[in-house]
Amino acid sequence: MGIRRIKKYIRILVWGIVVSWINNTRYKTEVTLYLLDILLSGLAYAFLGKSVAYQVGISQYGTENPIAFIVSGLIITHLVNTAYQRTSMSARGIYGIMKSPLPLWLGLVQNVVMGYLWSFFALIINIIILYSFGITFNINILSAIILLSLSLLIMFCLGVLSAGCNLIVKKGDPIRFLTTALTYYFSGRIFPVQVLPKPLQKMAWILPQTWIYYLWRRVLFSNVSLLQIRHDVMILFLMNIILAIISYLIFSYGINKIREEGLIL
């Protein structure tokens, strides 16, 4: 790939983001309601955390404060889940990209970048909520960088897997439904996995999201070094490899299927 083509792709990416930003911010009422929804949901989680006294197992996540535990779940979700949400496209969305002059990978990247422009506001608002309750972070920067890379890759692969399934089934989004349900109840996003019955706890640790929420909280609040969490990080790395292979195979099969059906050239 030549320098000229790389510059062209960068220009396309930047202008696409600008146009998308303008379209999404055109209606002030919609933007205001979006930001209010973030604020109210963050406060709701914070007050829920303040009122809950039964949170068994919080200390294993690096904090004993239920507000820190619950609101940090929102922060982690906005930090990593956008990579999944923006790549888990419907069949129609993928058709649109493939019919445009953009390479498919560039269209996916543009969608993810645009999503993170919005997630940035959610992150800031929820961080402010934590600080307003007197909760501060104690972050190990190196651990955070490595964990962020692994988390984003895992969520990206899950999104590609979902998009591939959407190309196969055409309507509905089975992977997103399954992922959302499992994440909400079994990942430790809202309550510690330790409050689940023992058989469900074992099932929960099969999910990569469970490791993401567990490790991120420890990194945010306990200043754990990469050496201290090396075994857990290795598990996340192996999950990344497995998911990358599966998502690539499913997505490739989906693309070949719609080409064979004549839905796209």
On the question of pLDDT at 14 being above 80, the answer is: no
On the question of pLDDT at 239 being above 90, the answer is: yes
Residues sharing a CB contact under 8 Å with residue 66, sequence separation 6 or more, in sequence order: 49, 50, 52, 53, 55, 58
As a whole number of angstroms, the distance between CA 136 and CA 127 comes to: 9
Locate 122 and state its tokens: 């959610």
As a whole number of angstroms, the distance between CA 235 and CA 250 comes to: 23
> Nearest Cα to 84, choosing from 152, 146, 183, 17?
152
Task: Output the CA angle 182-97-95, nearest 5 degrees.
Answer: 75
Of 64 and 34, more confident: 64
Locate 210 and state its tokens: 């469970």
Locus of tokens 């290795």: 234
Kindly indicate the confidence band of residue 25, based on its pLDDT and cuts at 50, 70 and 90: low
pLDDT given for residue 47 in this prediction: 63
Are residues 193 and 204 in contact, defined by beta-carbon separation less than 8 angstroms? yes
Encode pLDDT of 173-219 as tens digits: 677 777 877 887 788 888 788 878 888 888 889 999 999 999 999 99
Of 16 and 234, more confident: 234
Residues sharing a CB contact under 8 Å with residue 56, sequence separation 6 or more, in sequence order: 192, 194, 195
Encode pLDDT of 36-82 as tens digits: 777 766 776 666 666 565 566 788 888 888 888 888 888 898 888 88
Query: Residue-wise over 132-158: b if at least 16 C-beta within 10 A, else e?
Result: eeebeeeebeebbebbeebbbbbbbbb
pLDDT given for residue 248 in this prediction: 92
Identify residue 11 by its one-letter amino acid code.
Answer: R
The sign of the dihedral angle between the CA atoms of 253, 255, 256, 257 is positive
Encode pLDDT of 104-150 as tens digits: 777 777 778 888 877 888 888 888 888 888 888 999 999 999 999 99
